[in-house]
Amino acid sequence: MNSMCNNVLGKKNWIIPDCELPQPGEGVAKGHESVIIVNDSDVDAEINVEIFFTDKDPYTDIKWTVGAKRVKCFRMNNLEHMCGFEVPFETQYALKISSSTPIVLQYGRLDNTQANLAFYTTLGYSE
Amino acid sequence: MNSMCNNVLGKKNWIIPDCELPQPGEGVAKGHESVIIVNDSDVDAEINVEIFFTDKDPYTDIKWTVGAKRVKCFRMNNLEHMCGFEVPFETQYALKISSSTPIVLQYGRLDNTQANLAFYTTLGYSE
Amino acid sequence: MNSMCNNVLGKKNWIIPDCELPQPGEGVAKGHESVIIVNDSDVDAEINVEIFFTDKDPYTDIKWTVGAKRVKCFRMNNLEHMCGFEVPFETQYALKISSSTPIVLQYGRLDNTQANLAFYTTLGYSE
Amino acid sequence: MNSMCNNVLGKKNWIIPDCELPQPGEGVAKGHESVIIVNDSDVDAEINVEIFFTDKDPYTDIKWTVGAKRVKCFRMNNLEHMCGFEVPFETQYALKISSSTPIVLQYGRLDNTQANLAFYTTLGYSE
């Protein structure tokens, strides 16, 4: 395959182990969590989101869409993005994300609770 | 395989090279180290933990369990989590983690020794 | 293959999901974004850069070159590096990077908007 | 293979794209760069280190050893660790690391130039 061909990059299944929604805090940049998804394919990505908890079964009623050849940022403190599910503050959870077409996914957190902005990021684990 | 099937994600063997327990520090968020493990399978994960040192053989008497379809956060400064092993402060070590069923693992550290919270995270290396 | 052989490391296709150009800010170290590329091969790497947006088709008119056995740092706020494309501040985008020869790629961001320098880094996703 | 077997984890070849030695700075924790290597095998790891630059051929006269079942932290500002090579401050470089036996490798940087400690870490790229 020619490396310059427009081959589609990504995987269909992702996990982010360490999710936790920080308080907004006092700084200019409000604390938040995000999942950023790239869809390199020519069709829309239909995505199922599962939330894993420490002490109960996963919540599975969240659906996302990312358009063909687009990037989209989902915020965990945005009720519309979470299809009405209210993510609790400062509580351990994890995300499993399954897509109809290959995607690439990164997790980002901004903590500003001590007015000294700190970042936390990783690519997701993919298969 | 249909991408929407409930396939189990993860690997059984993981290494985190750079572990070091920070002092709690002075800030609101106390300094700590964590290993966060997702078990996406339908059976409990029975996990062996090995601690590697710079100058002596590994310590191998730590066992963890993560329930089916759960996420769990283990704290390195929690004696119960470490099965009684006291992790020394500010000392280089590494973790090798082997599970009976596939898991996904992330390492996180919060340093607050200068009252200016800093984060350090990576997925583990897996096979 | 002997591990000590001079085998070429890397992949030809990379994606960085979470790009966003920070304001320079007030600190000594000015806020910026970088893509750092290693070319471990014996020939120059001819590289195509695509910028993905949230609401329009990708921009594809950026070319980079990294010499054989060299590392090079590209700055997103450097108009020459971006072939005249002006990256907007504080706007979500993603990068897809395709090379004629294997490369290894890391993304770095320095945020200094609250005069309290924070870092954000990840290896890119590769295939 | 039984997941509880003592299989050796790691890869022989690694690259860290984004290396840069920070000034020590003014804080309690002095700014530095580290490469942390785990040797999970039963034999010592004999390691070749190559430094890539932006404008000249790689420097290849550095050798490291990591004992069997040990972790070791190499500091880039430690002349002994670098076999006499003086890494310049605030200058882009990259590391290619090749081992005689599988290893796992993480890069860490602590920046303290504005007395507000920031971390930067990633696993290396491996093959």
Q: What does the DSSP assignment read for C34-67?
A: EEEEEE-SSSPEEEEEEEE-SSSPPEEEEEEEE-
Chosen from A53, A125, A126 to mutate, greatest number of chain B CBs within 10 A: A125
pLDDT band of A39, cuts 50, 70, 90: very high
- Mean pLDDT rounded to a whole number for chain B: 90
Q: Which pLDDT value is given to residue D121?
A: 87
Say whether pLDDT at A89 is over 60.
yes
CA atoms within 13 A on the CB side of A74: 22
CA atoms within 13 A on the CB side of A45: 31
The rounded distance, in Å, linking the Cα atoms of A32 and B14 is 29
What tokens appear for B11 in the block?
């690997």
Say whether pLDDT at C26 is over 50.
yes
Higher pLDDT, B109 or A112: B109
The rounded distance, in Å, linking the Cα atoms of A54 and B40 is 12
The rounded distance, in Å, linking the Cα atoms of D65 and B64 is 32
> Which residue do the tokens 């504080």 mark?
C90
**Chain A neighbours, 3+ Cβ pairs < 8 A:** B, C
**Residue D19: strand, helix, or coil:** strand
Say whether pLDDT at B3 is over 70.
no
The rounded distance, in Å, linking the Cα atoms of C11 and A7 is 13
What tokens appear for A42 in the block?
């020519």
Chain B residues touching A110 at Cβ < 8 A: none
Is D77:D87 a contact under the CB 8 Å cutoff? yes
The secondary element (H helix, E strand) that includes residue D48 is strand D45-52
- Condensed to tens digits (0 to 9), the pLDDT of residues C34-84 reads 999 999 999 999 999 999 999 999 999 999 999 999 999 999 999 999 999
Average of per-residue pLDDT across D1-16: 75
Lowest mean pLDDT of A14-18, A51-55, C2-6, D24-28, name the range: C2-6
Lowest mean pLDDT of A28-32, A98-102, B14-18, B52-56, name the range: A28-32
Say whether pLDDT at B116 is over 50.
yes
- Condensed to tens digits (0 to 9), the pLDDT of residues D40-95 reads 999 999 999 999 999 999 999 999 999 999 999 999 999 999 999 999 999 999 99
> Residues in chain D, how many?
127
What's this model's pTM, rounded to 2 decimal places? 0.93
Identify which of D15, D57, D98 has the shortest CB distance to residue C38: D15
Chain B residue with CA closest to D111: the answer is B118
User: Among residues C9, C40, C12, which one has the least CA distance to residue C97?
Assistant: C12
pLDDT band of C2, cuts 50, 70, 90: very low
Say whether pLDDT at A84 is over 90.
yes
Chosen from A8, A11, A12, A15 to mutate, greatest number of chain B CBs within 10 A: A15
Average of per-residue pLDDT across A84-102: 96
Phi, psi of D102 (to 5 degrees): -55, 140
- Mean pLDDT rounded to a whole number for chain C: 90
The rounded distance, in Å, linking the Cα atoms of D19 and C47 is 21
Chain D residues touching C70 at Cβ < 8 A: 52-55
What tokens appear for A123 in the block?
């690519």
How many helices (DSSP H) and strands (DSSP E) are in chain A?
Answer: 0, 8
What tokens appear for C33 in the block?
């974004």
Q: Which pLDDT value is given to residue A43?
A: 97
Q: Which pLDDT value is given to residue D9?
A: 95
Which of the 8 DSSP states describes residue A41?
Answer: S
The rounded distance, in Å, linking the Cα atoms of D111 and C113 is 16
Average of per-residue pLDDT across C8-26: 92
Which of the 8 DSSP states describes residue A10?
Answer: -
Average of per-residue pLDDT across B50-79: 97
Q: Which pLDDT value is given to residue B2?
A: 39
Indicate the burial class of C47 (C-beta count within 10 angstroms; 0-12, 13-18, 19 or more): buried
**Residue C2: strand, helix, or coil:** coil
- Mean pLDDT rounded to a whole number for chain D: 90
- Condensed to tens digits (0 to 9), the pLDDT of residues B37-48 reads 999 999 999 999
